[in-house]
Amino acid sequence: MKKTFLIPVALCLLLVSCEKEIHFDFKNVEPYTVIEASVTQEGARARISRTVNMTAALDGSNYHTDAEITLSGSDGTSAAFTAGEDGVFTAPVEGVSGVSYTLTVRTAGKVHTSTSTMPEITQVTDAGFYISNILGVGMYTYDVETMAAPADVREQFFFYRMFKGEKVQSWGISDNRFITERGTVLMTMPCSLKIEGVDDLGEEADDIVLRPGDEVTVEAYAIDKKTHAYLRSDQMTSRSRANTLPDFTEGALGYFSARALLHRETVIFDPDNIHEKEY
């Protein structure tokens, strides 16, 4: 009898709220150069592409090699990039903490530059899969914890991501304003919902689930403040109606980061051996 009270609520829910696709007459703009480049302890790499209009296909394979790229460091390092067959430019530079690197890209008649400083390497104290319960929904996460300096002594910024194959499954940023009781910075990558019968789900569920046996690669980096600000603005663009912060001169999109690799691991997803974490 009491549940009859729910009838009006259920009825109302049926009557309200909906989502539908709408169509815009997108304006076309001249293509912009997009640069994604980094230098780590393992070397320097860069990729150059161009923006496409909204109605055009974008498959990630339209990388350009018509560019001259050089890297110089505050320690006197200097190197030119060479293009590989896969469209990736590389340079034989091993990044060093504390050094500021300037990337210069000459392409399409313009010169784009950006500078980034490689932070210190911090010790990773824990890394692995965990399961959390958020609002009654089970969620698998991959957590990386690294030692944190007090925020009023030194700022620390971090970037982390998880790949499933070539595709980024999850990424995020953190900083040492958010310190756990253990004095660490926690980087949590939500990587899969816990769903019964996950094998029966189609490919469209790949964005929200990992299946047993899936191989994923996890990376965590220390980054500088400038890169953190860029990535934070990147996270916000869909909500704030704004573009990402400019990182390169002369209007190029993308960013350059000198970052210190803290952790990299390739693991097989095995939900039977994942436990809840004591926070």
Partner 1 sequence: MKRIILIAVCSCAALLCAAQEIERQDTLSEAVISAASPAARLAETLSGVERIDIDEIAKVPVIFGEKDIIKSLQLLPGVKSEGEGLSGFEVRGGTSAQNLILLDGATVYNAGHAMGVFSAFNDDALSEVTLYKGQIPSAFGGASSSVLDISTHQGDMYRWHFGGSIGLLSARLGVEGPIVRDKLSIYLGARRSYMDSFLIFSKKYKGNKLYFYDFNARVDWKATAKDNFSITFFRSDDVTGIKDFMNVGWNNTSVTGRWLHREKNVYFNSSVVWSSFENKPEIDILGMHLEARGYIRHSTARENITILAGSHKIHVGGEITHTRLNSAEWDISGTHLMDLCKGGEGNVWAEDEWAIAPFAEISVGFRLGMFMPLDGRHHIYFSPEPRVGAKFSIGQFQTIRGGYCRSSQNVHALRNANMALPFDRFCLTSAFVKPEISDQGSLGYAIMIPDGSWDFSLEGYYKGVQNVYDYLDGETFISDIDIEKLIKGGRGRAYGVEVAARKNTGAFTGWAAYTLSFAETRIEEINGGRWYRSNNDQRHNINLVAMYSLRSGWNFSAAFTYISGRSLTVPSAKYMLDGNIRYYNSERNGYRTPPTHHLDIGASHTKHKGRMTRVWTFSIYNVYNNYNPFAVTFRDDEKNPSGSKAIQTSLFGIIPSVSFSLKF
Among positions 211-250, residues that touch partner 1 (CB under 8 A) are 229-230, 232-245
Helix (H/G/I), strand (E/B), else coil: 233: helix
Site for partner 1 in 129-158 (CB under 8 A): 132, 134-136, 151
# residues contacting partner 1 (CB under 8 A): 86
Question: Which is closer to partner 1, CB of 73 or CB of 192?
Answer: 192
Determine if 28 is a binding residue for partner 1 (CB under 8 A).
Answer: yes
CB of 79 to partner 1, least distance (A): 23
CB of 102 to partner 1, least distance (A): 20
Determine if 19 is a binding residue for partner 1 (CB under 8 A).
Answer: yes
Residues 6+ apart with CB under 8 A from 87: 47, 48, 61, 63, 64, 65
Cβ–Cβ under 8 Å, residues 163 and 266: no
C-alpha separations of 39 from 58, 79, 89, 195 in Å: 26, 12, 12, 38
CB of 193 to partner 1, least distance (A): 12
The first and second tokens of residue 183, run together, are 């004095």
- Cα angle at 263 between 212 and 47, to 5 degrees? 90
Region of 53-61, 78-86, 87-95, 107-115 interacting with partner 1 (CB under 8 A): 53-61
Question: Which of residues 85, 86, 181, 199 is near partner 1 by CB under 8 A?
Answer: 181
Helix (H/G/I), strand (E/B), else coil: 196: coil
Question: Buried b vs exposed e over 75-90: b needs ≥16 C-beta within 10 Å?
Answer: eebebebebeeeeebe
Site for partner 1 in 89-128 (CB under 8 A): none
Question: Which of residues 175, 214, 250, 265 is near partner 1 by CB under 8 A?
Answer: 175
Determine if 190 is a binding residue for partner 1 (CB under 8 A).
Answer: yes
Shortest CA distance to 40 belongs to which of 262, 191, 234?
Answer: 262
Determine if 166 is a binding residue for partner 1 (CB under 8 A).
Answer: yes
